[in-house]
Copies of this chain bind each other. A is one copy, B any other.
Amino acid sequence: MDMPAPPPPPHQISDQCRKLSTVLSLVGDKWTVMIVMVLRDRPRRFNDIKRTIGGISQQMLTRTLRALERDGMVSRTVYPTLPPQVEYALTDLGRSMSEPVHALGQWAGAHLDQIEGHRADFDGRTA
């Protein structure tokens, strides 16, 4: 069969991106970033995190922490006291991730007004 080169698929980019989006979607998650940021200064307990963030349901906090634990970003330590204490902390991996995330946060902070300006502009023109 004379097919010297298999047709190079035009979506190498998307394939790579698709794998990355698995991780990227972590960052886009409404709560994940907040939790990582909160845990950045020090380990905290469940309701401590809940109170600090404020506005998150325990359902979502549980789920998000589970997801972070699953990805190895957060460690979960149970102290069998009474009442039980569970402490969440960033792992090395989690702390490592928090750096580029923080950088992105910096950028976002620096350009927030600009973006909101564009939005108001756009909405004004559209209305």
Residues 29-56 of A at the B interface (beta carbon under 8 Å): 29-30, 33-34, 37-38, 51-55
Chain B: which residue is nearest A70 at the CB level? Answer: B122
A58 to B40, CA, bound (A): 40
Report copies per complex: 2
Known A-B contacts A104-B27, A107-B96; A119 and B21 likewise in contact (beta carbons under 8 Å):
no
How many A residues have CB within 8 A of the partner chain?
55
A18 to B55, CA, bound (A): 10
Pairwise interchain contact A97-B93, C-beta atoms closer than 8 A: no
Known A-B contacts A11-B53, A54-B11; A111 and B123 likewise in contact (beta carbons under 8 Å):
no
Please give me the 4 A-B residue pairs with the lowest Cβ-Cβ distance, nearest first.
Answer: A28-B28, A72-B118, A23-B108, A70-B122
